[in-house]
Structure 1
Amino acid sequence: MPETGDAAPDFTVPLANGDVDSFTLSERLEDEAPVVLAFFPGAFTGVCTDEMCTFQDRLAAFNDLDATVYGVSRDSPFALNEFRNQNGLEFGLLSDYNKDVIADYDIEMDFADLGVYGVAKRSVFVVNGDVEVTYAWVSDDPGVEPDYDEVEAAVEDAA
């Protein structure tokens, strides 16, 4: 798992933004840093919906800091677009359908009792324009949401 001060693993995945585009972290950092990568296990689930809606509710604060928020999950970009639409999310969602990013960030978890394998642990990484992780939070408990004030403070420090 990347720690604070490490270089963020670069990746290219589909971006669900109402359409489906391509997203490459290193390219986006040129204009959108700092970037908040909020990994979540799965769209349309209770805690994940609450988390993404809370980021939406706080989006103005992140925008005021010139930060860009992205949610990241294993869901397909098509499912993520529907999730965005149903929840009024104005930020992009990244589809790590092949689990490459989850593997690179070493945040894979399973819900073996449900037969669900290889989803993202609930995690937040803030990456600055130098491709450096300036904040890293990973929960082993999928029912725990991040400390949003702490994330916002980390973004302010990275800006």
Structure 2
Amino acid sequence: MTVSVGDTAPDFSLPDQDKQVVTLTDLRGAPVLLVFYPFAFSGICTGELCQLRDELATYTDAGVKVLAVSTDPVFSLKAFREKEGLDFPLLSDFWPHGATAQTYGVFNEKAGMALRATYLLDADGVVTFAQVNQPGDAREQSAWKDAVGQLAA
């Protein structure tokens, strides 16, 4: 079952690219943009995360913390972050493989990867925006910015 608008986002604790554990509930008090993506270094994912990098101020200026989640191991995420100059945490849902994506209902079991899913959580952890795209279907990030604007209003 996919997490929907109005749901409280399921908590998780995942290591980032530097093996520092990030726990979602520890971020309460600020909005969070949670971006699941299939794989580091893949074409569409790289394009999406680089666009997010280039437009990061849209989110951070509104007080939104950005977290990107994939099923890649931390070592791949560290190399990906350094190569692309990504300035937000890349979280590893590697082991147990895809457990967090499964909890959100956005795990493609056949391919062993997360779907392209985006959630905007308010300061209390309630989902205010949810979008799930299939593999190969790039996301239009203007919807994310609109959701951030509505949350800030």
Interval of TM-score (by shorter of Structure 1 and Structure 2): over 0.9
* Structure 2 counterpart SS, 1:106: coil
Paired with 1:4 and 1:38, the residues of 2 have a C-alpha distance of 15
Match of 1:118 among 101, 112, 123: 112
Q: Point out where structure 2 has 5 or more consecutive residues left out of the alignment.
A: none
Q: CA RMSD for the aligned pairs?
A: 1.2
Match of 1:42 in 2: 39
Q: CA deviation at 1:29?
A: 2.3
2:70 maps to 1:69: no
Deviations 1:4-42 (A, max 9, x none): 0111011011012xx220110011123xx2111111000
Paired with 2:42 and 2:128, the residues of 1 have a C-alpha distance of 28
Paired with 2:93 and 2:28, the residues of 1 have a C-alpha distance of 18
Match of 1:103 in 2: 102
* Structure 2 counterpart SS, 1:147: coil
* Structure 1 counterpart SS, 2:28: helix
Match of 1:143 in 2: 136
Query: If each structure's strand is expressed as a fraction of its own residues, which one has the higher value?
Result: 1
TM-score in terms of structure 2 length: 0.92
Deviations 1:49-100 (A, max 9, x none): 0011010011011111111111110001111011000001011111001211
TM-score in terms of structure 1 length: 0.89
- After the TM superposition, which parts of structure 1 deviate over 4 Å for at least 4 consecutive aligned residues? none
Match of 1:91 in 2: 88
Paired with 1:14 and 1:91, the residues of 2 have a C-alpha distance of 13
Q: Point out where structure 1 has 5 or more consecutive residues left out of the alignment.
A: none
* Structure 1 counterpart SS, 2:136: coil
Q: How many residues align?
A: 149
Match of 2:127 in 1: 133
Paired with 1:77 and 1:28, the residues of 2 have a C-alpha distance of 21
* Structure 2 counterpart SS, 1:71: strand
* Structure 1 counterpart SS, 2:44: helix
